[in-house]
Structure 1
Amino acid sequence: MAEKKLGLQTVKLKNPPSIISTSSIVGPKESEGPLREYFDIKLEDDLFGEKSWEKAESKMVREAVRNAIEKAKLKPQDIDYYFGGDLLNQIISSSFAARELQIPFFGLYGACSTMTESLSLGAMNIDGGYSDYVVAATSSHFCSAERQFRFPLEHGNQRPPTSQWTVTGSGAAVLAKKGNGPYITYVTTGRVMDFGIKDANNMGAAMAPAAADTILRHFKDTGFDAKDYDLIITGDLGKVGRDLTVDLVFKNGYDISSNFTDCGVEIFDLENQDVHAGGSGCGCSAVVFCGYLYNQLLNKNLKKVLLISTGALLSPTSTMQGESIPGIAHGVTIERMG
């Protein structure tokens, strides 16, 4: 029997890795939001000096990784593995960044859940004794995501109230075998859930069942409850998906309403910024964690956090063929010791 596994989907890390540094880069709209002071680099334009949005996104990843490594007082050659991915076809933002960084690369695709997928696999890699340092990084870009998944910006289509704004940003975290924390202590790997949602402009509803399933499974596997956490935060649900998740979890016997929120709700001012239901995208949970949450953990304003990034596993091909939108959510416990 697997000695580190709890229940059906959770791993308790025997040698929890320390998150020794993070870095975050955000676009202009994100720089105007309530968390702006926590981001390392704030872009003045969405192109970041490049000729296309896709090149700009890859540059964001590359610079976020380099900055995180530099803040850890390391060099790229000190990093054993780079775990990362993004939303674009063949995860080109991450793979082209890896081409420049020359760090051994595990390319991942979990849609918007990729940040916690990267943290999960990186943490298990260190806990298993396979590496001393790894970097986990993801990105998204509003313009590149709209072009790939919905409509070209030139189309000027109307966005319904349930739609979300894909965050332009990248976050990177360096995990180490030794350090002063905060530490990744538990990993709960999600299942693919599908409640039949077909509306590509209502991602929150499509992802909420997966978020609820992972939260419930984490509680059942570990014996924890909402009260054991200072904060439970999903990655990309926006206000529609957030409210649905609270309801789904409550119907299964747990009340998370008092200490639960979503990165897509926190990153924007929903009253004064035109983002409809809130933020989404791989970069959403990446920059909120690598910017705001990591700061709060370091400064002891938070001691124990359950971070669950959520992803909608669709493509233009599946949408045009009338398929529904499956969801996935991966969770990690991040905590200070002592």
Structure 2
Amino acid sequence: MNIKTYHHQQAFTLDSGDILPELHISYQVFGEANADKSNIIWICHALTGNTNPLEWWSGLVGEDRFYDPNEYQIICANVIGSCYGSTYALSTNPKTGNAYYHDFPLVTTNDMARAIDILRKSLGIHQIKSLVGGSLGAQVALHWAIENPDLFEHVVLFAGNAQMSPWGIGFNETQRQAILLDPTWPDKNPKAGLTGMKIARQVGMLSYRHYDSYEVKQKDEDARLDDFKANSYQRYQGEKLASRFDAFAYWTLSKAMDSHHVGRNRGGLISALQKVKAKTLSVGIDTDLLFPKTEAQLISRLVKNGHYKEIKSPYGHDAFLIEYEQLNYILKSFYLN
């Protein structure tokens, strides 16, 4: 892995008014830019994603895939607040010499977009062929496209929205309550709240998937009394995330998602979305419980050059990470038309 880190040594004022004394932004670059830098694809990752989309979006990004690093220069940065190299709760606060821990301030999806734009400027990039993101990544990408309307030729948003719904906030709050009730959460320890986060992830899975996907994958064929497939699947999902993530990042990123509202300080949703100049594809999922397809449809309807396509899948919100055949077909038709 060729992970790079940009160190922004100036203070960064957050939407909340709090100030981070400096920023570290972790990122990866795949492929080479052409002479006029017109082949750049910038990908924004989802909630627990990292800087390597070839790893977590392997059916879409990689050699001989739709976004091929032999054809494009592909860039993916870790959002601030996440635990894959960018500034977050376990980073050292240069003012104290200690980790922020619970004192790490509220970060918004707009803050994440502004931080990524600082990285973009440091790389000397003045045009981006396509900005692509899913879920949290779509939220960040949408802010970025609104603030920099002349920067992007295309914007592609999978399972995104313009404002976090009360339903979505409710799911996130329930997950954070599991962390809050973990007796280790108050500790200044990198593993604080980890058991609570395992439970949070299990709750989250119920919003990322759909009834139909559990029927297909987790249904028991016998008439057992206990130890069901769904039991072990939920536990597995919690353990799996705990092996690579931490409760501090989960807390910060879920709070950021709650804050998501592109109309804030921009005259409302309609005014904000009409600032997007790029040809925009907003992809909804027919079984998405977390970001219903109506939210994706709203974006495509309100941006000036918006297009809507829909994934049909039993996998709910996570279908944008699974249904590669449909993703590729949708993208091909979008770029050709």
Fold-level match, TM-score > 0.5?
A: no
Question: TM-score by structure 2 length?
Answer: 0.30
For the pair shown, the structure with the greater C-alpha radius of gyration is: 2
Question: TM-score by structure 1 length?
Answer: 0.30
